[in-house]
Chains A and B, each alone.
Chain A
Amino acid sequence: MSRKNSILDLKSNPLAGVVAALVLIFIISCFLSKYFLTAFNMMIVARELAFIALITIGQSMLMVLGELDLSLGMISGLCGVIGGVLMVDQGWSPALAFLVCLVFGTLFGCINGVLVTQLKLPSLVLTIGMAGVYGGSNLVLTKGIAITGLPPEISILGRGQLLFLPVPFLILLPVLAAAAFVMFKTPFGRYMYAIGNNAVTAIMLGVKVDRVRIVVFAVAGLLASLAGMLMVARLGTAQPSIGESWVLPPIAAAVIGGVATTGGVGGPIGAVLGAVIIGIIENIIVLFGISPYWQSVVSGGVVVLAISFDSVSRRYFGRVG
């Protein structure tokens, strides 16, 4: 939140908990594997982070509003294969295909937002349904088979590097900066927090509540399609399964980062730091050589630990509540 506090003021900085958890997990990881703190591994962590983090930014913006979109992962997958079809079957130029996919993602998010606000449905239930619609359309389009033969030049977006930094990570940074700017520094962001605090009060203050909600759903859809297209670029094929595992980790990341599921508090920076924690955990599990069967048990358990750590540290740092 836009508090006027020094970063070092642990008592009142809302990010204190997640930063402390991140530092702790980072240090433990350094001890667990000698490969962890190498330039190559850090590059991998940063690259893998980007996809989940893009979804996390959108999801955390929705959560601040008090909404949730469980179809974001499916939007990523569907936009990815739409991009594949456009480039391979239709022979479109990659740039145009990319742009059209982003438009589609925005449109899908917008549809979710319009349905939630106009039918006055709980977004949780509606987007479970829409996840089925988008996921199913993906299969109708691909019959479950990956689209290969994509133009090779797109791989720079997924696998390229600039000054040792992976391109997806370089795309993430300005997106995060823009999201944080909008939420902390613009009237629109203040309206988002107002709605998440109390939608009725927001209406009484003259906020166009439905319009704000629809715009944020659309932005979340846009970011989901961006993540999906970057993943296609990284894999070199348009896999129908892209995004299937992107549903719950972003929500966990946002909660770790201090975004309340009930809305009105937290922000995208904390949420992305939460995604970094999850990324490090997944990385260290691989480096440490834990059996794949145990991986989700361990990563789930560490997520629970991270959330508890945040809540406990908050109590100790004495925020009256």
Chain B
Amino acid sequence: MGSGISNVAFLEVRGIGQRFPGVVALKDVDLSIEIGKVHVLAGENGAGKSTLVKILVGTQDPTEGTIAIDGSNPLEHREMFDYVAYVPQEINLFPNMTVAENLFIPFNKTGAADWVIDHGKMFKAAEELIARFDISARPGQLVKDIPISDQQLLQIARAAARRRFKVLILDEPTSSLTSQEVERLFNIIRQLRADNHAVIFISHKMEEIFDLGDDVTVLRNGERVATRPLSGLTEPELIRLMSGEEVRMDQVFYPTTAPGETLLEVTGLSGYRFHDASFQLRAGEILGFAGLVGAGRSELMQTMFGYLKATAGHVKVAGKNWKLHDTSFSIAHGMLYLSEERRQHGILPFLSVRENIGISIFDRTVSLGTIFAGRERHIVSDIIKTYDIKTPSMEKQIMFLSGGNQQKAIIGRAMACHPKVLIFDEPTKGIDVRTKVEIYRIMKELAERGVGIILVSSDLVELRKCAGRILTMHSGSLGGEFLTKDTDNETLVRAILGAGEVRNVA
């Protein structure tokens, strides 16, 4: 390792290990981060990336190994961790505070104030940062009032506002951005790199990794598999390093059976952030929904499902009038919605994997009003096996599972309900390549068994691989309907952007 790496590392870890009771999260990992480079941290969900990041920013002390930041040991001199800034995947700002306040909290670390806040001075400093990071917001605006993409950049600007700032860690920063916004973000990252900073970039998106990265370190099962310059690596090679096996990315996942009768019929449905939506879904079909973040796709789905209130229109499933605004009706009659927000809408964090899955299989575990523990364990262990959910035990609290395994548990739970209509909302957000393929395969198999599937995705490649028919949505209205095989990407993108007109609706 380290061949072709010439500079002295600013941040260096050697032989890092992290054990939790019963689990080895990291084993003997080395990592060198140099100024002026973008270092990609790659690996499947659960490979140990987040644990490593926690160690690098000082929120978790490793059980083995050494860390050096600028030559000194941050475990003894904790202030050295101030050089490393972490920007999490989810927005992590104070929504009811101003842009300027968010930039400079904690005030002592940014030098913005000691005891009394000089708002004039702070706003001026904020303006400079806002301009430098190309954020369209005023220092006095509340964070909750600015678009998500600007919030994302604001998180990075906040890291840069600190007096000591050398290393920026970005965890999947593009998952809620449109392609133009991604370009804006990448320009800023390149600027930081040119400006004597180091960037650690975590992503599952191959094109981003190869577009932006200089070097890559690959983790698998808590161990470092390789550190290489990206220039000497191809995409299939990187995927093989991450997964330890060949994953074919050129496969398509269209159901091989012909679609059946019309299963779902939506007529003139209106609600929060969308209006007058009409479309049909046939049994055994995977129907794609394309659109920008904020186009109203999730809201439409959540309204059909009954989580949000409809203001007009109606829904029929298999010819039957659907009761709206009642999720328990939808679940009981076979319509399921798997939200893109796994943490907020999907898991019950403090409950075990068994209890999380068990809540949807009472029809088979309950007699005389009592849950039979043996039956529950039996069915749950089948689901864990079928969906390859990696967990040390079914009694493990689900919040300790990796994102991909949580997603598989959620899908496994949904399948156990035997749905007729299944809505996947961004099912592969934050999911590694191999698990993605598994999820596509599950969708395909379900469709072949006659389930009607809706796939909401911002990833055109994903939609083209799975959905035979794609609907586009823009600013709350359904746009065109396209047969995937007859449509090129350009046509789809134009429809997504609202007939070629470029507008930001986030």
**A190-B355, A190-B371, A201-B344 are known contacts. Are A208 and B350 too (CB-CB below 8 A)?**
no
Q: Judge if A237 is at the interface, Cβ distance under 8 Å.
A: no
CB distance from B365 to the nearest CB of A (A): 9
Q: Judge if A162 is at the interface, Cβ distance under 8 Å.
A: no
Interface flags, A103-131, vs B, CB<8A=1, else 0: 00000000000000000000000000000
Contacts of A297 in B (CB 8 A): none
Say yes or no: B350 contacts A205, CB within 8 Å.
no
Say yes or no: A320 contacts B21, CB within 8 Å.
yes
Q: Judge if A3 is at the interface, Cβ distance under 8 Å.
A: yes
Near A by CB (< 8 A), chain B positions 347-399 give 347-352, 355, 358-360, 362, 366, 369-371, 373, 377, 395
CB distance from A285 to the nearest CB of B (A): 35
Chain A, residue nearest B341 (CB):
A200
Contacts of A6 in B (CB 8 A): none
**A4-B373, A187-B362, A204-B307 are known contacts. Are A264 and B355 too (CB-CB below 8 A)?**
no
Say yes or no: B351 contacts A194, CB within 8 Å.
yes
Interface size on B, residues (CB 8 A): 33
A132 vs B370: C-alpha distance when bound (angstroms): 39
Q: Judge if A206 is at the interface, Cβ distance under 8 Å.
A: yes
Q: Judge if B20 is at the interface, Cβ distance under 8 Å.
A: yes
Near A by CB (< 8 A), chain B positions 273-308 give 307
Near B by CB (< 8 A), chain A positions 263-286 give 264-265
A264 vs B352: C-alpha distance when bound (angstroms): 12
Say yes or no: B327 contacts A191, CB within 8 Å.
no
**A190-B359, A204-B307 are known contacts. Are A198 and B348 too (CB-CB below 8 A)?**
yes
Say yes or no: B348 contacts A206, CB within 8 Å.
no
Chain B, residue nearest A186 (CB):
B369
Could you say which of B307, B332, B369, B373 contacts A203, with CB atoms under 8 Å apart?
Answer: B307
Q: Judge if A193 is at the interface, Cβ distance under 8 Å.
A: yes
Contacts of A186 in B (CB 8 A): 366, 369-371
Could you say which of A4, A5, A264, A318 contacts B348, with CB atoms under 8 Å apart?
Answer: A264
Say yes or no: A320 contacts B344, CB within 8 Å.
no
Say yes or no: B359 contacts A191, CB within 8 Å.
yes
Contacts of A202 in B (CB 8 A): 348
Interface flags, B334-349, vs A, CB<8A=1, else 0: 0001010000111111
Say yes or no: A206 contacts B327, CB within 8 Å.
yes
Q: Judge if B141 is at the interface, Cβ distance under 8 Å.
A: no
Interface flags, B300-319, vs A, CB<8A=1, else 0: 00000001000000000000
Contacts of A12 in B (CB 8 A): 395
CB distance from B418 to the nearest CB of A (A): 14
A198 vs B347: C-alpha distance when bound (angstroms): 8
CB distance from A133 to the nearest CB of B (A): 32
**A187-B362, A203-B307 are known contacts. Are A2 and B373 too (CB-CB below 8 A)?**
yes
Say yes or no: A200 contacts B345, CB within 8 Å.
yes
Q: Judge if A185 is at the interface, Cβ distance under 8 Å.
A: yes
Say yes or no: B348 contacts A201, CB within 8 Å.
yes
A100 vs B428: C-alpha distance when bound (angstroms): 56
A197 vs B359: C-alpha distance when bound (angstroms): 13
Contacts of A203 in B (CB 8 A): 307, 327
Contacts of B344 in A (CB 8 A): 198, 200-201
Could you say which of B347, B370, B373 contacts A201, with CB atoms under 8 Å apart?
Answer: B347
**A190-B371, A197-B350, A197-B351 are known contacts. Are A204 and B337 too (CB-CB below 8 A)?**
yes
Chain B, residue nearest A190 (CB):
B359
Q: Judge if A207 is at the interface, Cβ distance under 8 Å.
A: yes
Say yes or no: A201 contacts B351, CB within 8 Å.
no
Near A by CB (< 8 A), chain B positions 260-277 give none
Q: Judge if B330 is at the interface, Cβ distance under 8 Å.
A: yes
Say yes or no: A3 contacts B352, CB within 8 Å.
yes
Could you say which of A2, A187, A204 contacts B345, with CB atoms under 8 Å apart?
Answer: A204
Chain A, residue nearest B330 (CB):
A206
A202 vs B346: C-alpha distance when bound (angstroms): 9
Contacts of A185 in B (CB 8 A): 370-371
Say yes or no: B345 contacts A201, CB within 8 Å.
yes
Say yes or no: B400 contacts A320, CB within 8 Å.
yes
Chain B, residue nearest A193 (CB):
B351
Contacts of B352 in A (CB 8 A): 3
Query: Which residues of B are in contact with A by a Cβ distance under 8 Å?
Result: 20-21, 307, 327-332, 337, 339, 344-352, 355, 358-360, 362, 366, 369-371, 373, 377, 395, 400
Query: Which residues of A are in contact with B by a Cβ distance under 8 Å?
Result: 1-5, 11-12, 185-187, 190-191, 193-194, 197-198, 200-208, 264-265, 318, 320
Q: 9 more A-B contacts (CB under 8 A) besides A186-B366, A186-B370, A186-B371?
A: A1-B351, A185-B370, A185-B371, A190-B358, A198-B347, A204-B339, A207-B359, A264-B348, A265-B350
25 cross-chain CB contacts under 8 A: A2-B355, A5-B395, A11-B21, A12-B395, A185-B371, A186-B366, A187-B371, A190-B362, A194-B359, A198-B347, A200-B344, A201-B344, A201-B346, A201-B347, A202-B348, A203-B307, A204-B337, A204-B339, A204-B346, A205-B327, A206-B329, A206-B330, A208-B328, A264-B350, A264-B351
* 7 nearest CB pairs, A to B: A206-B331, A197-B348, A206-B328, A187-B362, A264-B350, A206-B327, A265-B350
